[in-house]
Amino acid sequence: MHSDSDNVIRAKTRAQGLRIKRNNLVAALLSGLTLVFTSVEFVAPSRAGFLFGLLVGFVYANGFEYCLHRFLLHCGKGVFSQQHMVHHTTLKSPDSARYVNFSSNPWGVVALFCANALPFLVLERIFKNGWVAGAFVSFALYYIAFEEIHWRTHMADGCLRGSRPQQGITCDTTLTIRVISMCSCQCSIGLYGKYRARPAHSRPARTTLILS
């Protein structure tokens, strides 16, 4: 049972979280479009190159998410890890929705896109490869799907089955989601094995990597 004041906080932070998510998604869309147009200005992609870029972008985004979560967010040091631990440790609290989104500010999303895009643009400039636009499309779609699925995973907004609303527990998401590795926080499963993450404070030693 939740108290009335808990429910008030829950509703308020949920509305705040939804606003942040919307802003992040708009920032991702605009960043992705800007990058696609920039890369097309450098080199116009062929159809095959664009399709290849979609594949490259997906593999890259999936690997980036995995490495970010495993090696940076759960390393137990630094501001990013500390902020991520707030997300994990508040999952059962009434204000958990404040800490679910990737960034509390859309400029964090813009920075994420710029940092990831820079090497691709440099490579495109040097080698004149025509697949970078496709990679940016894939990266943007991956981020948008990640943010939305991550929210629904924790906040149980229409989890497709096995919802456990507001308990701060990862709901039993679909096989599709598990296979393509977008429910990253409790477990990141993808092209790089299965990584089950736990908050740093609950594990004195190493994280657990399950390769299966």
Q: Give the span between the Cα atoms of 72 and 80, in whole angstroms.
A: 7
Confirm or reject binding of residue 85 to Zn ion (CB under 5 A).
no
Where helices occur in the chain by DSSP H, the ranges are: 4-42, 47-67, 78-89, 106-127, 132-155, 175-180
Which DSSP helix (H) or strand (E) runs through 94? none
Hey, is 77 helix, strand or coil?
coil
- Among 35, 182, 197, 200, the residue binding Zn ion under the rule CB under 5 A is 197
| Candidate ranges 49-57, 106-114, 158-166, 196-204; the one touching Zn ion (CB under 5 A) | 196-204
Contact 38, 133 (CB under 8 A): no
Q: Whose Cβ is closer to Zn ion: residue 28's or residue 97's? A: 97
Q: Select the residue whose beta carbon is closest to Zn ion and give its number.
A: 185
Smallest distance, Zn ion to C-beta of residue 60, A: 20
Smallest distance, Zn ion to C-beta of residue 198, A: 8
Q: Whose Cβ is closer to Zn ion: residue 28's or residue 73's? A: 73
Nearest to 152, CA basis, from 198, 85, 101, 191: 101
| Candidate ranges 22-30, 35-43, 130-138, 195-203; the one touching Zn ion (CB under 5 A) | 195-203
Confirm or reject binding of residue 185 to Zn ion (CB under 5 A).
yes
Q: Which residues of this protein are in contact with Zn ion, per CB under 5 A?
A: 185, 197
